[in-house]
Structure 1
Amino acid sequence: MAFLDIEHLEKAFGILRVVKDFNLGIQKGEFVSLLGPSGCGKTTVLRMVAGFETPNSGAIRIDGKDVVNQRPNQRNIGMVFQAYALFPNLTVAQNVGFGLKIKGVGRADQDIRVAEMLRLIGLPDLGNRYPFQLSGGQQQRVALARALAVKPSVLLLDEPLSALDAKIRVSLRTEIREIQQKLGITTIFVTHDQEEALSISDRIVVMNGGIAEQVGAPFEIYNRPNTKFVANFVGTLNTFDAAVLDPAAGRVSLAGTEITLPQPLVSLTGDRIALALRPEALHLGRFEGREVVLPGVITDVHFLGSVIRVRADVAGASVALDTFNRADTPPPPVGAAAEVSFSAADLIVLGG
Structure 2
Amino acid sequence: MGFLDISNLQKSFGATQVVKDFNLSVEKGEFISFLGPSGCGKTTTLRMVAGFEVPSAGTIRIDGRDVVRLRPNQRNIGMVFQSYALFPNLTVADNVGFGLRVAGVPRTDRAERVAEMLAIVGLADFGARYPFQLSGGQQQRVALARALAVRPQVLLLDEPLSALDAKIRVSLREEIRAIQRKLGITTIYVTHDQEEALSMSDRIVVMNNGVADQVGAPFDIYNRPATRFVASFVGTLNLLDVRVVDAGAGTVSLGGTTVPLGRQLRGDKVTLALRPEAVGLAPSDGRTLGVEGRIAEVHFLGSVIRIRVRVGDARISLDTFNSADHPPPQVGDPATVWLNPRDLMVLAD
Report the TM-score when normalising by structure 1: 0.97
Q: What residue in structure 2 maps to residue 323 of structure 1?
A: 320
Offset, 1:259: 1.4
Residue segments in structure 1 that go unaligned for 5+ positions in a row: none
Q: What residue in structure 1 maps to residue 121 of structure 2?
A: 121
Q: Deviations over 1:268-310 (max 9, x none)?
A: 4xx1111121111110122222122111211222222221111
Offset, 1:110: 0.7
Q: What residue in structure 1 maps to residue 109 of structure 2?
A: 109
Paired AA for residue 16 in structure 1: T
Offset, 1:152: 0.3
Q: Deviations over 1:301-330 (max 9, x none)?
A: 222222111122123212211011223222
Q: Secondary structure at the match of 2:168?
A: helix
Q: What residue in structure 2 maps to residue 161 of structure 1?
A: 161
Q: What residue in structure 1 maps to residue 90 of structure 2?
A: 90
Offset, 1:36: 0.7
Paired AA for residue 347 in structure 1: L
Q: What residue in structure 1 maps to residue 235 of structure 2?
A: 235
Distance in structure 1 (CA, Å) of the matches to 2:34 and 2:248: 36
Residue segments in structure 2 that go unaligned for 5+ positions in a row: none
Q: CA RMSD in A?
A: 1.1
Q: What residue in structure 1 maps to residue 36 of structure 2?
A: 36
Is the CA contact 1:286–1:339 (under 8 Å) kept in the aligned structure 2? Answer: no
Q: Secondary structure at the match of 1:301?
A: strand
Paired AA for residue 99 in structure 1: G
Paired AA for residue 20 in structure 2: K
Q: Does 1:299 align with 2:292?
A: no
Residues 207-222 of structure 1 aligned to structure 2 (within 5 Å) = 207-222=207-222
Q: What residue in structure 2 maps to residue 262 of structure 1?
A: 262
Residues 274-289 of structure 1 aligned to structure 2 (within 5 Å) = 274-289=271-286
Q: Does 1:309 align with 2:306?
A: yes
Q: Secondary structure at the match of 1:249?
A: coil
Residues 191-202 of structure 1 aligned to structure 2 (within 5 Å) = 191-202=191-202
Distance in structure 2 (CA, Å) of the matches to 1:80 and 1:74: 17
Say which of 334, 339, 342 aligns to 1:337: 334
Distance in structure 1 (CA, Å) of the matches to 2:241 and 2:69: 51
Q: Does 1:204 align with 2:208?
A: no
Question: How many residue pairs align between the two structures?
Answer: 349
Q: What residue in structure 2 maps to residue 246 of structure 1?
A: 246
Q: What residue in structure 2 maps to residue 56 of structure 1?
A: 56
Is the CA contact 2:254–2:311 (under 8 Å) kept in the aligned structure 1? Answer: no
